[in-house]
Amino acid sequence: MTAEAPALTRSDPPKRAVRRWYRRKPVRRALVVTHRWTSLVLGLLLVLETTAGVILLYRAEYFRATHADFYAHTESAHPLGLQQARDLVEQAHPEFSAAWVSNDGGIIAVGDSGYTTAYAVDPGSGHVTGPQKLTDGVMGWLTNLHDCAFTCQDDPGYVSWLAAPTPVPEMNWGELILVVLGLLMILLAITGIVVWWPGFKKFSHGFRVRLGKGRFARDYDLHNVIGLVSVPFVLMWGVTGAAFYLPPVESAWLAITGGSTPDEAKYSFTANPAAPGTPVIGIDQASSAALAASPGTVRYLVPPAEGTDYYSVSIADDGYQPYGARAFFGGDRTVYVDSHDVTHVSSVDAASEPAANRFYSKVFEAAHFGWLVDGWWRLVWVVLGLAPLALMLTGISTWLFRLGTKRRRRKARRT
Average pLDDT over residues 86-112: 96
User: At 250, is the pLDDT very low, low, confident or very high (cuts 50, 70, 90)?
Assistant: very high
CATH (residue range 59-138): 3.10.450
Half-sphere exposure of 188 (CA within 13 A, CB side): 33
CATH (residue range 264-272+279-352): 3.10.450.40
User: At 399, is the pLDDT very low, low, confident or very high (cuts 50, 70, 90)?
Assistant: confident
Task: Please indicate whether the domains covering 59-138 and 264-272+279-352 agree at the CATH topology level.
Answer: yes
Rounded Cα distance between 211 and 265, Å, is 56
Of residues 24, 33, 102, the one with CA closest to residue 63: 102
Average pLDDT over residues 193-205: 65
Query: What are the CA-CA distances from residue 141 to residues 2, 161, 243, 324 (Å)?
Result: 47, 17, 22, 24
Number of Cβ within a 10 Å radius of residue 213: 11
Of residues 71, 87, 124, the one with CA closest to residue 283: 87
User: How buried is 5 (Cβ within 10 angstroms: 0-12 exposed, 13-18 middle, 19+ buried)?
Assistant: exposed
Question: For the segment 332-379, what is each residue's pLDDT rounded down to a tens digit?
Answer: 999 999 999 999 999 998 778 899 999 999 999 999 999 889 889 999
Which residues are CB-contacts of 398 (< 8 A; sequence separation ≥ 6)? 216, 219, 220, 223
DSSP secondary structure letters along 194-237: HHH---STTGGGGG---TTS-HHHHHHHHHHHHHHHHHHHHHHH
- Parse the chain into domains and list their residue ranges: 59-138, 164-262+353-415, 264-272+279-352
Radius of gyration of the chain (CA): 27
DSSP letter at 305 equals: -
Residue 26 is inside which H or E element, if any? helix 26-56
Q: Which residue did the predictor score with more confidence, 260 or 213?
A: 260
pTM: 0.81
Is 323 in contact with 295 (CB distance < 8 Å)? no
Question: For the segment 112-129, what is each residue's pLDDT rounded down to a tens digit?
Answer: 999 999 999 999 999 999
Average pLDDT over residues 181-185: 88
Residue 119 in 3-state DSSP? strand
